[in-house]
Amino acid sequence: MRRGAAFALLLMIVGCAAPPPDPLATPGDFTADVTVLAGEGADQRLEPWMRQGKMILFSDGTVLADLGPSVNARTRPGRARVLYQRQVRQLWDLARELGFATPELANYDGNPDMLAAEPGELVYAMTFSAGQERWTFVRRCPVQEGPDQATATWVKAMAEAGLLRERSADENLPIRYDFGPDPYAWFRPTASSGS
């Protein structure tokens, strides 16, 4: 019996020695949150990454996304889709490549809910969490210029993950059916009909 107990203790000691974590592996608690705030005069942009909106990626692959003037940092959009873990890993790798996976590089330590865009300005608030840490990057840019390359790449990837599409230029116009210049012309008698 003593030998069996010693063997069980040895198995426990050997079994507890876990390999060190892979620094390149996707953290199990990785989440990403992007809020785009568009100032007055920014509504002419058609691209989803340059329109007011919010996109959230959870560690299980769930993506919430919505666009519109009423969306802000406090909005929790509806579910757009669920990504495979392979796709979540690709987004984490992209965040690392762009420099957004490093908390020390974050440039904002305030409350993103308090951000506002000036007229003609776009504000990008990108919040990440992993390894029980949370950090935020904020980028501001004129509407006509757009964001820096890293921000544009990240927000485009999040918009694609959320299945957000580019708005057509005539999206808000009413539907008008084309019946020709005078839709009632065929009701009127013509000179050849003799009426």
Q: If you count DSSP H runs as helices and E runs as strands, how many of each does the chain have, helices first?
A: 3, 6
83: domain CATH number is 3.30.1560
- Is residue 19 included in any domain, yes or no? no
- Residue 99, classed as helix, strand or coil, is coil
- Is residue 26 included in any domain, yes or no? no
- Is residue 36 included in any domain, yes or no? yes
Q: Residue 97's domain spans which residues? A: 32-167
- Is residue 23 included in any domain, yes or no? no
Q: Domain total for the chain?
A: 1
- Torsion 161-163-169-172 (CA) sign: negative
- Is residue 85 included in any domain, yes or no? yes
- pTM (2 decimals)? 0.74
Helix (H) or strand (E) holding 38: strand 31-38
Please give the C-alpha separations between residue 68 and each of 36, 50, 102, 194, in angstroms, as whole numbers. Answer: 10, 11, 30, 58
- Is residue 150 included in any domain, yes or no? yes
- Is residue 71 included in any domain, yes or no? yes
The pLDDT tens digits for 144-180 are 888 999 999 999 999 999 998 776 655 555 666 665 5
% of the chain beyond a pLDDT of 70:
77
Per-residue confidence (pLDDT) for residue 41, from 0 to 100: 80
16: pLDDT strictly greater than 80: no
Query: How much helix, strand and coil, in percent to the nearest 5, is found in the chain?
Result: 30, 25, 50
Residue 101 in contact with residue 19, Cβ under 8 Å?
A: no
- The torsion region of residue 47 among left (phi > 0), alpha (psi -120 to 50) and beta comes to beta
The pLDDT tens digits for 41-94 are 877 777 888 889 999 999 999 999 999 888 888 999 999 999 999 999 999 999
- Is residue 118 included in any domain, yes or no? yes
pLDDT category at 182 given cuts 50, 70, 90 is confident
